C-alpha cells in the first residue's frame, strides 16, 4: 500500500519543542495532543510520512519496555529513523554527563531526544543543553507526561469522550504507591485539567495527604472508594525506590485490586495499570487478565500518543531552527 504523505490532522498545535511535564501545558494543548493521538489511534492508514528523513534518539538511562518500544514504533510509523542509547555500553558509564551526551548526539544530526532517567529533572537538563526537540520519557519521581496523556486517551476512549476530551462527571481512582510515582503526578495533572475528579488511594506512607495540593482528594480506604469510581489506575509498588508495605500479604489484604474488589465498582468501570505489574501485590492476575482490564488498551494508546507528541515537538523544533 502506498504510504500516505499526511498527518493525522492538519490543525496547528501551540507547543514548545520540549515535552517535559504536563504542568506546563494548558487544558487546550492537552486536548489538542489527544485529538491528534486519537486520529492516529483510530486511523486505518498503515503509515504516515511527516517525519521522513528525520532522526530520533532514545536516551534510556533507566530500564523500560513499554515507553522505549512505543516511542520507537511511533517514530518509525512517522517515517523517522531511530537510534538507541542506554547507560550501559555508552560513555555515560565512563562518567560523561547527560548534558554532554545529549549535545554529542545532537551534533550528529539528531532531531529529537527521548529521555528516560532515574533522576528527577534529567529531561530538563537535556532540554537546556540542546536545541532539538526533547521528550521526557520518565524522570525519577517527577513526571511521565506521555503516560499521563495515554491514560487520559484510554479513559476518553473507554467512556466515549473522544469528541471533546471532557472528562467531567468521571471519578477516577489512582491507587497504591503514589509517593514514588511519576505516573501519578502526570495522571493527576492530565485528568484534573480535563475535568475528571481524581481520588488518590493508599496507606498514608504511599498516598500522603499532601497530594491534595495537586487538586485531588486522598483516602486510605480503598473498599469505601471503589463503589464511587468509574475507573481505577493501580500503581506498582516501587520496591526499588524504597517503598515500604509490611508484607505483600498485608498490603494485598487492603490494597490489591482483586476479583472481589473489581466487582464492587460501578457497572462498566475500567481497571488500568501503567505497568510493569507486580502480579499478586497491587493487582491479582485474575483482574489484570480479566474483562474489566484496559491494560493493553493503555499500551496501544501509548503508540498513538507518542506519535502525536513526536510530531508536534519536532514540528516546533523545526520552526525554532528556521527562525
Q: Is the dihedral of CA 56, 62, 63, 65 positive or negative?
A: negative
Contact assessment for residue 263 and residue 290, using Cβ atoms and an 8 Å cutoff: no
CB of 156 to ligand CP, least distance (A): 18
- Site residues (CB under 6 A) for ligand CP? 64-67, 138, 144, 147, 274-276
Question: Nearer Cβ to ligand CP, position 27 or 277?
Answer: 277
Contact assessment for residue 202 and residue 220, using Cβ atoms and an 8 Å cutoff: yes
Distance CA 63, CA 137 (A): 11
CB of 44 to ligand CP, least distance (A): 27
Closest CA to 234 of 188, 202, 266: 202
* CA angle at 175 for the pair 184 and 63, rounded to the nearest 5°: 50
Question: Nearer Cβ to ligand CP, position 192 or 238?
Answer: 238
Give me the half-sphere count of Cα atoms (radius 13 Å) on the Cβ side of residue 160.
3
CB of 136 to ligand CP, least distance (A): 11
Question: Nearer Cβ to ligand CP, position 140 or 275?
Answer: 275
What pairs with residue 205 in β-bridges?
Answer: none
Question: Nearer Cβ to ligand CP, position 35 or 66?
Answer: 66
CB of 10 to ligand CP, least distance (A): 31
Question: Nearer Cβ to ligand CP, position 77 or 236?
Answer: 236
Parallel/antiparallel/unpaired status of strands 133-139 and 270-272? unpaired
CB of 147 to ligand CP, least distance (A): 5
Amino acid at each position: 500500500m502506498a504510504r500516505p504523505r499526511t498527518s493525522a490532522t492538519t490543525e496547528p498545535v501551540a507547543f514548545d519543542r520540549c515535552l517535559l511535564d504536563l504542568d506546563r501545558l494548558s487544558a487546550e494543548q492537552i486536548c489538542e495532543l489527544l485529538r491528534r493521538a486519537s486520529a492516529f489511534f483510530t486511523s486505518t492508514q498503515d503509515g504516515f510520512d511527516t517525519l521522513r528523513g528525520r532522526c530520533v534518539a532514545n536516551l534510556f538511562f533507566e530500564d523500560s519496555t513499554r515507553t522505549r518500544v512505543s516511542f520507537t514504533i511511533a517514530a518509525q510509523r512517522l517515517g523517522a529513523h531511530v537510534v538507541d542509547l542506554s547507560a550501559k555500553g555508552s560513555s555515560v558509564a565512563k562518567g560523561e554527563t547527560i548534558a554532554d551526551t545529549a549535545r554529542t548526539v545532537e551534533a550528529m544530526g539528531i532531531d529529537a531526544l527521548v529521555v528516560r532517567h532515574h533522576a528527577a529533572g534529567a529531561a530538563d537538563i537535556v532540554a537546556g543543553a540542546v536545541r532539538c526537540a526533547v521528550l521526557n520519557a520518565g524522570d525519577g519521581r517527577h513526571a511521565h507526561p506521555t503516560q499521563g496523556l495515554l491514560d487520559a486517551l484510554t479513559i476518553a476512549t473507554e467512556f466515549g469522550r473522544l469528541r471533546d476530551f471532557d472528562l467531567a462527571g468521571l471519578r477516577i481512582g489512582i491507587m497504591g504507591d503514589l509517593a514514588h510515582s511519576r505516573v501519578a503526578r502526570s495522571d493527576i495533572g492530565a485528568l484534573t485539567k480535563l475535568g475528571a475528579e481524581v481520588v488518590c488511594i493508599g496507606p498514608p506512607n504511599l498516598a500522603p495527604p499532601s497530594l491534595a495540593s495537586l487538586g485531588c482528594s486522598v483516602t486510605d480506604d480503598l473498599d469505601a472508594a471503589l463503589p464511587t469510581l468509574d475507573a481505577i489506575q493501580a500503581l506498582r509498588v516501587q520496591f526499588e525506590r524504597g517503598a515500604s508495605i509490611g508484607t505483600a500479604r498485608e498490603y494485598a489484604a487492603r490494597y490489591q485490586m482483586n476479583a472481589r474488589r473489581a466487582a464492587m465498582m460501578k457497572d462498566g468501570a475500567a481497571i488500568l495499570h501503567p505497568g510493569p505489574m507486580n502480579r499478586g501485590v497491587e493487582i491479582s492476575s485474575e483482574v489484570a487478565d480479566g474483562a474489566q482490564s484496559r491494560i493493553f488498551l493503555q499500551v496501544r494508546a501509548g503508540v498513538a500518543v507518542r506519535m502525536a507528541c513526536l510530531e508536534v515537538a519536532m514540528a516546533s523544533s523545526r520552526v525554532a531552527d528556521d527562525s
